[in-house]
Chains A and B, each alone.
Chain A
Amino acid sequence: MTQIPDNSRTNNADSHGQPAVLETGGVFGDESSTINRRRFLEAAGFSISLAALTGCGRAPVETALPFPIQPVGAIPGRFQDYASTCAGCPTACGLLVGTRDGRPLKMEGLPEHPLSRGGLCAVGQALPIGLYDSHRLTGPLSAGKSSEWASVDQEIIQAFSQIKEQKKAVRFVTPTITSPTLQANIDAFLAQFENAKHVVFDAISSSAILDAHEQTHGVRVLPHYLLDKAKVLISFGADFLGTWISPVEFTAAWSSRRAPTEEYPEMSYHVQIESRMSLTGSNADRRVTIAPNEQHLVLSRLAHEVASLAGKPLENSPPLEGSLADTEIASLARKLWEARGESLVLCDSQDKATQVAVNLINHHLEGYGKTLDVKRPSNQRQGSDRDVQQLVEELEADQVGALLVADVDLLHDLASCQTLADAVGRIPLTISFSQREDEFASLAKFVCPDHHVLESWSDAEPIGGLISLAQPTIRPLRETRAVLESLAVWSDRPTTAYEALQSHWKKTIFPRRQKEASAQFVKFWEQSLREGFVEVEAAKSVVGDFKAGEVKPLAQQTATGDFSLILYTKVSMPDSRHSHNPWLHELPDPISKVTWGNYVCVSPSDAKELGLVDGDIVKVSAGDEGPQLELPALVQTGQHDGVLAIALAYGCKGTDRFAKIGPQWFEARPTVLENELLGKNAAAFVEFRDGAQQYLRSGVTLSKTSKRRDLATTQLYNSLEVPAEVAPHGAERRDIVQHTTLNAFAKDTHAGAVEHHFDGDTQLWPEDHPKTGHAWGMVIDLNKCTGCSACVIACQSENNVPVVGYDEVRRQREMHWMRIDRYYTGEGEDMDVDHQPMMCQHCDNAPCETVCPVLATVHSSEGLNEQVYNRCVGTRYCANNCPYKVRRFNWFKYEHDDTLQNLVLNPEVTVRSRGVMEKCSMCVQRIEAGKVEARSQGLPVADGAIQTACQQSCPANAIVFGDINDQESKIYEALENPRRYRVLEELNVRPSVSYLRVVKNRDEESHSG
C-alpha cells in the first residue's frame, strides 16, 4: 500500500495526495492506458472482494431442540391462550395469557369476563417482564443468606412451636386478598395459634368507605359500583378511570355510556370535583377544582340539597364558602335527583363522616341496588386501617412473636412510622414472602419467595358470586414456592397449591354453583378452568336497613400551613410491588407525560409565585419534626392553588438497578443518580387519623432549592391553541382534536366538523394502486378513550419495543410506537383536556414513502405503510417528513444482554438493530397470522378475527380495526359515523386511521376548532 503516495505523486497531485483527479475529470495526462489512482483502487478492490467472496464461510451452526416428549396439544411456533386471572392488583380482571413454545408472552383481556370485558390495564400488560426478571430471588433466604427450603422449613417450624408454647402473638400482614382459597388457608394456618390475626393492609386504602357502610348498613363492605347504570355521575376526587379500586371495569362501564349516536344522542353526565388533575377529571364533562379541605363541606351541602329534594332535609346545614356557589350545588343536586335510580356519587375521601354523607346521598338517590350494590359487594379493597394502626402499636410495644408479610413491603409503605424498623428487628420470628429483597425482606429472618403470578395456581372472588381461576403458564423459573404451600408445610400438612385449590373448590365453591352448572365436580372444575371464571351464588350477607339518623352535617376543616399535600398513585405504578418493572417506569403518565420517577405537582400560579419551572428541585416538608423530601417540581395545569401532589410507590429498595438502563454512551446521564433510588418514597407523609390512612396532609411547606433535575417528559407541547400573535383568523385552535357538545350533536350530528379548504381532486400521485383485496383501517373513538395508556404497554409487549431509560426519553428518543398525546385547551374551569392516541396513520399518500432513498418504507397492496428493517439505512428522511411524528429511530443497539429478560421478546417480531427506523406496523404479524389461519380453513377473514394489540386490550373499547373493503365490518360502520374525522386532513395524505370527535355533555354550543 505504500505505493499509493508514490503513485499519486507521479500524477502531480498535491502533497496531501489530493486529487488532481477532480479537476481534470478523472484522466491524468494523456497516458490513458497507464494505471492511475482510480484504476488502482478499482482493481485492488476487485481482487480483494474476489478473495473475500471465495473465503465466505458458512453461517454459524444453529441447533433446533424439539421437546424430548411433546406435551399434548403443544404446537411449536403457535400462540396458545389460557384463561386466567390478573394478579397485578386486587382488582382481579380476567386475563388471557398468550403463550408460545411454553413461555407466557402477551397478556390480553379475557373478552367474556363480566367485569373487565376484555380490557386490561397497563400493569396487567406488563406482567411478563416481571416474570423474566433476573433480579428476582432465586430461592429462600435465611438471615439474609441464600439457603435451602428444607433447612428454612425446619427452622421456621421450630420457631413456630416455640411461639405456640410461649403463647405469643402471630400477625399475618397482606394486602387485600381476593382469593377465597388463600384466605381460607391463611385462616386455617392462623387457627393453630391462640393469639393470631390476619391484618389486611392496603397501601392505597379505601378503609373509610367500608367503615362508613358498617355504620350505615351494618356490614363492613365495599359496594360494587355499577357505572354503566349511572346516567349522572359525580365523583369527588375518585380517580375511577385511572387508579381507584377497579379502573378497567369502571372504564369499560363508563365508556359504554359515552357513545352518542344519531338515533340516540344521549350520554352520561360526569362531573369531577377534585383538587389535583386526575385522569378521570381530564375526561369529565365538567371539572370543578376545589381546595382539598372544602371537599366534605361541598359534600354535606350536596347531601343537604339531595335530602331536601327527597323530603327529608337535614338539620342545621352549614353555609358554603368556597369555589362552588350554593346555586351550583343545588343544580347538581337537581340533576342527580331527576336521574334518581340512575345517578351515583363517588368519593375517595378517607374520612368516615364524609363517606357517610356520600352514602346518605346515594341512599336518597335510590342508588343502592341500582347503581351500587352492597348485597353482592366488591372484595377488591378489604383493608382495615384500624387493624394496621393497632398492629403498629403492638409492634412498637414488642407484643408480637411472629410477623409474616406477603405481597406488601411493610416498611416502605408504612414509612411514616419511623421506629417500625427497629421494632421489626426485635421480633423473634419475621418471615417475608417477597419475590425480592425489599425493605421488610432485608430485615426479615426468613424470606420465602412466592411464585410470580404467572407461575402459580390461584383464584379470586372480586365481586360476591363471581369467582375466577388463575392458572400457571410456565414452570417456576426460580426455586420459589407459593405462600399457600409454605403455610401448608409449616402446619405439617404439605400440599400443592393445585390440590389445595381443588379441595377448597370442592368444599365451598362447588356447593354454591348455579342450577344450570354441571353436577359433577370434575366437569364444573374443567369448565371454570377453560372459561377462566364462573358465576355462583353470592355468599349471603346481612345488610341492615339504612340508618339515616347517624348522618351529621360536617363542619369546615380549617387549613393550616402553606400547602396541602395530596398523595396519589400514578396510573402506571399502583403499588410498590411493581417498582422493578421497567416498562411501567417508562410509560408516560397520562396527564403529566413524565416517565421514570415521581415529582411534586405544583399549580401554575403557585409555581409563578415561587419562580418554579419544571425540573427545579423543591423541598417539601411537614413541619420541623415531620417528614421531608426533595423532588423535582412539575407545573401541573388544572391543579388547585395551594395544593401539592406527589405519587406514592416510588423510592423502593433495589430500584438503583435501573441506574444504567438504556444506552451507555459518553454523554449518557444515569436514570438513577448515585446512592439514590428511583423517585422518593412519599409514604412518610401518610398519617393515621380517625382510624384511616390519610392521603391528604395539610400544613406542608414548599421551598425551592438551587438544584435541578430535568424531568424525562415525552411531550413538550401541551396546547392546541395557536399563540394569538401568529394564529390565522378563524384557526386560533388547532383542529387536531375536534370537539362538540351533546346539544350541538343532537341538532346536527356533524357539529364540530372543520371545513377544509383544499382541493381533493388535485393529486400529486396518480390513483393507480387500487386496494382490491383487504384494506386495513382503524377508527379511534376519542369520546371513549380515557388516555389510560394500556395500549402503549400492549404495543410495547407485542412489538418488542425496547426500554431506553431516563436520559433517552429526556432527549425525546423514546421508542414507543404508540403514544397518547395530551392537550390542554382553555383555562381554569373551562379547561379541557384531550387524549389522543397517535401512531403511524398508514397514509395512502404517505410522505415518508416518497423520501426514502432505499425503498425501505413502501406501501402494501392492503393499505399498510410498511417499514422494511433490513433495507433501512437510517437516513431519517422519513421521520423528518412525517407530519404525525410517529417514526422512531434506533439511535443505539438497545441492550439485549439479559438472556432471561430476552424471553419476553415476541418471536413474531424482528428485534431492530441500530440505525434502523421503526414505527407502528398495525400489528402486521397478527394480520398475516389471521389471513393464514382463515385461508387454511378455506374461509374469508372474519371481521374481528384479527385484532391489533392496542385494540384487544383497550378497556374502553375505543379502537376499531378491520377491513374497510368488507361492508359488513365494524370498521365500515365506524367510518360512516358522523363524528369521524382525520387528523391533518388538509395535507391530503389520506390516513387509514380516523378518529371520532369528542362530545362533551354540556349545555353550551360547540366551540369548533
Chain B
Amino acid sequence: MQQRVTTIVLLIGLCFGLSLLVSAMGTWRLPDNQQGYAPKQPIAYSHRLHAGELQIDCKFCHSASESSRHAGIPSADVCMKCHRYVTAPFDVMQQEMKLADKEKRKPEMIVSEELQKLYDALALDENFQPIEGATPQSIPWVRVHNLPDYARFNHQAHVTVGVSCQKCHGPVETMERVRQHATLSMGWCVNCHRDATREGINGRKVHASTNCSVCHH
C-alpha cells in the first residue's frame, strides 16, 4: 500500500516537472545560458536602422574594438556627431518643413522623444546649448553580452584577425533591439577556436589557442 502511495506521489512529481519543462520548452536552456536575452534599453536605439538601413560601420561607433579588450559603447557625444542635425525621424521633420513653408515661418526644431533622452544625458537643450546647473550623465545601457567574471574575451584579438562581428553577435543589422545571438558557452568558444585553427579565417592561417589561460586568468 505504502509503495503504491509512494509511486503515485513520485509519478505526480515527475509529471509536474515534465509539464513545467514542456511549457518552458520554447525558451529552454541550460542554467546561465542567456541566449536570446534582449533587454529593454534606456533609449530605443535600433541597430537595424543604423547598421542595416544606413549601413554605418560597426567600428564607427564601437571604435575601441580594434584596439582594446572592450568594443566599447559609444559615448553620447559620438551619437551627437550626427544627432545634433538629425533630431527626429525624416518624415516628421519633412512634415514640419512643409507646414512651416505653408505658414510662412521658420521651421521649429523638433526633437523626438528618444533623442531627447540623449540631449538630456549631455545636459544640452534643443539648440545645443548647455543647460545650466546640469551635468552630463552616462546613459545606463543594459549589458546584453555578459560573460562571467572568470572568463575574458578580447575584442582586439578577434577583430584584428578578421573575425566578423556577426560571427558572435549574429545579424545585428537586422535587430531592432539587440539580443544575445550565441550561447557564449565555453563549448561554443572552443569549437570556433578549433575550427579557426583547422580552417583559418578568411583563407588566412591562424592559431586560435585553446589553452585555458587564454580566457581564464
Contacts A54-B24, A869-B216 known; A928 to B31 CB distance under 8 Å?
Answer: no
Give B1-33 as 1s and 0s: 1 = Cβ < 8 Å from A's Cβ atoms: 011011101100110111011011000111110
Q: Are B141 and A50 closer than 8 Å at their CB atoms?
A: no
B165 contacts the other chain (CB 8 A): no
Given A10-B2, A866-B211, A932-B156, do A75 and B72 touch, yes or no (CB 8 Å)? yes
Query: In chain A, what residue has the closest Cβ to B76?
Result: A68
Check if A325 is an interface residue, CB within 8 A of chain B: no
Tell me, yes or no, whether A40 is within 8 Å of chain B by CB. Answer: yes
A929 to B29, CA, bound (A): 33
Q: B75 at interface (Cβ–Cβ under 8 A)?
A: yes
Nearest CB in chain A to that of B63: its residue? A75
Interface string of B145-184 (1 = CB under 8 A from A): 0101111101011001100000000000000000000000
Is the contact region of chain B dominated by helix, strand, or loop, or is it mixed? loop
**Contact pick for B17, options A51, A65, A869, CB 8 Å:** A51
Distance between Cα atoms of A59 and B136 in the complex (Å) = 29
Contact between A62 and B146, CB atoms less than 8 A apart: yes
> Please, how many angstroms separate the alpha-carbon atoms of A753 and B16 in the complex?
73
Q: Kindly provide the distance from the CB of A408 to the nearest chain B CB, expressed in whole angstroms.
A: 38
Are B37 and A58 in contact, CB atoms less than 8 angstroms apart? Answer: yes
CB of B87 closer than 8 Å to a CB of A: no
Q: Quick check: is B194 within 8 A (CB to CB) of the other chain?
A: no
Q: How far is the CB of B68 from chain A (nearest CB, A)?
A: 4
CB-CB under 8 A from A528, the residues of chain B are: none
Q: Does A6 contact B (CB under 8 A)?
A: yes
Which B residues lie within 8 Å of A50 (CB)? Answer: 17-18, 20-21
A68 to B213 alpha-carbon distance, docked (Å): 34
Do B64 and A46 have beta carbons less than 8 Å apart? Answer: no
CB distance from B181 to the nearest CB of A (A): 16
Most buried by A among B2, B64, B137, B212: B212
* Nearest B residue to A36, CB-CB: B3
Contact check, A63 vs B142: say whether CB atoms are below 8 A apart.
Answer: yes
Which of B3, B9, B67: most chain A CB closer than 10 A? B3
Given A69-B75, A77-B72, A860-B213; A3-B2 close (CB under 8 Å): yes
Which of B3, B34, B75 sits near A35, CB closer than 8 Å?
B3
- Whole-angstrom distance between the alpha carbons of A866 and B209 in the complex? 14
Residue numbers in B under 8 Å from A77 (CB-CB): 64, 68-70, 72
What string of 1s and 0s marks CB contacts (under 8 Å) between A463-490 and chain B?
Answer: 0000000000000000000000000000
Closest to A938 in B: B160
How distant is the Cα of A68 from the Cα of B120 in the complex, in angstroms? Answer: 11
| Interface SS of A by simple majority | loop
Complex CA distance for A53 and B23, rounded to whole angstroms: 12
B217, A909: Cβ atoms under 8 Å? Answer: yes
A926 to chain B, nearest CB (A): 10
Whether A64 sits at the interface, judged by CB under 8 Å, is yes
Q: Out of A862, A864, A935, which one reaches B160, CB within 8 Å?
A: A935
In contact, A910 and B149 (Cβ under 8 angstroms): yes
Do A928 and B10 contact each other (CB < 8 Å), given the known contacts A50-B20, A78-B69? no
Please tell me which one of the listed residues B6, B28, B73 contacts residue A66 in the complex, with CB atoms under 8 A apart.
Answer: B73
Q: Given A54-B20, A76-B70, does the pair A68, B154 have CB atoms closer than 8 Å?
A: no
Asked if residues A928 and B154 are in contact (CB atoms below 8 Å), the reply is yes
CA distance A48 to B10 in the complex (A): 11
Q: Are A932 and B157 closer than 8 Å at their CB atoms?
A: yes
Interface residues of A in 858-889 (CB under 8 A from B): 858, 860-862, 864, 866, 868-871
Q: Which residues of B contact A58 (CB under 8 A)?
A: 34, 37
Given the known interface contacts A64-B73, A932-B154, the answer about A34 and B3 at a Cβ–Cβ threshold of 8 Å is: yes
- Give the complex CA separation of A773 and B209 in angstroms: 11
Q: How far is the CA of A858 from the CA of B74 in the complex (A)?
A: 39
Known: A65-B138, A868-B216. A59 touches B34 (CB 8 A): yes
Which B residues are CB-close (under 8 A) to A869? 150, 216
What residues of chain A lie closer than 8 Å to B84, measured between beta carbons? none
Task: Contact check, B212 vs A860: say whether CB atoms are below 8 A apart.
Answer: yes
Question: Is B122 an interface residue, CB under 8 A from the partner?
Answer: yes
Q: With A66-B141, A773-B207 as given contacts, are A911 and B149 in contact (CB-CB < 8 Å)?
A: yes
**Contacts A76-B72, A773-B207, A936-B66; is A866 near B213 (CB within 8 Å)?**
yes
The docked-state distance in angstroms from the alpha carbon of A41 to that of B152 is: 39
Across the interface, A3 reaches (CB within 8 A) one of B5, B150, B151, namely: B5
A58 to B29, CA, bound (A): 11
Which residues 1-44 of A have a CB within 8 angstroms of B? 3, 6-7, 10, 34-35, 40, 43-44
A28 to B164, CA, bound (A): 60
Whole-angstrom distance between the alpha carbons of A929 and B73 in the complex? Answer: 21
Q: Is A435 an interface residue (CB 8 A)?
A: no
The answer on a CB contact under 8 Å between B16 and A47 is: yes
- The residue on B at minimum CB distance from A857 is B212
Q: Does B89 contact A (CB under 8 A)?
A: no
Instruction: Choose among A3, A78, A862, A925 the residue that contacts B64 (Cβ–Cβ < 8 A).
Output: A78
B137 touching A43 by the CB < 8 A rule? Answer: no
Q: Does B77 contact A (CB under 8 A)?
A: yes
Q: Does B121 contact A (CB under 8 A)?
A: yes
Given contacts A35-B3, A864-B211, A870-B151, 17 further A-B contacts (CB under 8 A): A10-B2, A35-B10, A44-B10, A48-B17, A53-B31, A62-B143, A66-B74, A68-B136, A69-B136, A70-B77, A70-B78, A75-B67, A75-B72, A866-B211, A909-B217, A928-B213, A932-B154
A-B contact pairs, 8 of them (CB 8 A): A7-B6, A59-B32, A59-B146, A66-B75, A69-B76, A773-B207, A921-B213, A936-B66
